[in-house]
Amino acid sequence: MDHSYFLEILQKYREGKASPEEERFLLSSYDAFESQPDVTSLLTEAERSRLGQQMHQDILSQIAAQQPLVLKPPFRWKMAAAILVLVGAAFAAFLLTNRGGKAPAMAAADQSVQPVEENNLIALPDGSTVLVSAGSRLRYPSSFNKQGKREVFLEGKALFTVEQHHQQPFVVHAGGLQTTVLGTTFEVIAPEKGEVTVTVFKGRVRVDSDVKSLGELTANQQIVYNTEAKASRQQPAEQAPIWQQEDLLFDDVSLLQASRLLEDRFGYSISIPDEALRTQRFSATFLGHEPLEQALKSICAFNQAAYTLDTVKKTVIIYKP
């Protein structure tokens, strides 16, 4: 995200000339810049207060409308976390009340993310990351510590990069199928109607229906499951779908987790020698058409870092200056 573009939109907002789309962009990016001198000096105390009130009202409006809470950088994280706990508890209570006192396994998934305008890259409690497509929904527990399996529930499309814990399998429930991770990076597409597709880009997964195993997939293979006919076919995978290249929100992820996604998107190898820098967390929005160098400039600005880029060897080093 371009710092100068943010300041341009901020100035238009102060003058009452920002479009609705530009106001949404401003609200989705404000927290990333509010501590910087050129932003804090530009706004009056009243204007900073007005922005904060707008963001707070956005959260309350979503809850009042019984919409899933969508986390974006401007929302104060402690407030959002508290609201998520309340929403999760209310959801679990609703399930218990309406299922004769017995909640399904899905009730354990007390966290939810549902991007509206751009893909969200989120970090799960075990360090795995998920790129959740705009319009999709992912539910997952706040902790996997006391569970025999790491189970998440998907409606729509998502790309998973999973940390391997051999004693605790990772399972994605989507479209009536259970995808068990035996490797690293894979995609699940589970629309409300139609075919469910599981595609592996790295590693290996096993795909099961409720009644049988549909097979195991390795890199560049996919299973397509017809939910009406209850039939599946296994075939070579196509290229990474276009949706993964669209606008993106890094949602409170570490620099290492973000770099893995950038490696896949741009085909570069990214190394971060400094351990503290690798684990440093941040949030930022990026446009789908932004080149790698612009993304690196923004990431380094957020994390007080620098980088070197070798276009011949296609390598990047991010480091503390």
Question: CATH no. for residue 262?
Answer: 3.55.50.30
Residues 255 and 139 in one domain: no
Whether the per-residue pLDDT at 130 is higher than 50: the answer is yes
Cα-Cα end-to-end distance for the chain:
21
Which pLDDT tens digit goes with each residue over 39-48?
Answer: 555 656 566 5
What is the torsion angle, in degrees rounded to the nearest 10, for the CA atoms of residue 265, residue 269, residue 272 and residue 278? 30
Residues 143 and 210 in one domain: yes
What does the alpha-carbon distance between residue 275 and residue 285 come to, in Å, rounded to a whole number? Answer: 24
Choice among 81-85, 116-120, 135-139 with the minimum mean pLDDT: 81-85
Residues 209 and 143 in one domain: yes
Of the candidates 280, 278, 268, the residue with the CA atom closest to the CA atom of residue 310? 268
Beta-carbon contacts of residue 125 (< 8 Å; ≥ 6 apart): 140, 141, 142, 143, 144, 145
Residues 252 and 221 in one domain: no
Give the confidence band of 156 by pLDDT, cuts at 50, 70, 90: very high
Answer with the one of 236, 271, 300 that is the final residue of a domain: 236
Token digits for 182? 């035996």
Is residue 205 in a domain?
yes
Range of the domain at 146: 104-236
Q: How far is CA 204 from the centre of its chain?
A: 22
Give the confidence band of 285 by pLDDT, cuts at 50, 70, 90: confident
Yes or no: say if 80 and 69 are a contact pair by the CB < 8 Å rule: yes
Phi, psi (rounded to 5 degrees) for 215: 135, 175
The angle subtended at Cα 27 by Cα 65 and Cα 134, nearest 5°, is: 60
Whether the per-residue pLDDT at 84 is higher than 80: the answer is no
Whether the per-residue pLDDT at 276 is higher than 50: the answer is yes
Residues 108 and 187 in one domain: yes
Amino acid 131: pLDDT: 93
Q: What is the DSSP letter of 68?
A: P
Region 267-296 average pLDDT? 89
Token digits for 318? 């991010």
Which pLDDT tens digit goes with each residue over 213-267?
Answer: 999 999 889 999 998 888 999 999 876 667 777 788 888 899 998 998 888 888 8
Residues 183 and 257 in one domain: no
Percent of the chain with pLDDT over 90: 33
If phi over 0 gives left and psi between -120 and 50 gives alpha, with beta otherwise, what is residue 292? alpha
Residue 314 to residues 146, 264, 291, 297: CA-CA distances in angstroms?
A: 42, 12, 14, 16
Token digits for 181? 């991770």
Residues 122 and 218 in one domain: yes
Amino acid 53: pLDDT: 56
Q: 228: buried, middle or exposed (CB in 10 Å: 19+, 13-18, 0-12)?
A: exposed
What does the alpha-carbon distance between residue 141 and residue 216 come to, in Å, rounded to a whole number? Answer: 26
Amino acid 1: pLDDT: 46
Neighbours of 90 (CB within 10 A): 12
Neighbours of 213 (CB within 10 A): 11
CATH number of domain containing 196: 2.60.120.1440
Residues 232 and 251 in one domain: no
Residues 200 and 292 in one domain: no
Is residue 73 in a domain?
no
Number of domains in the chain: 2
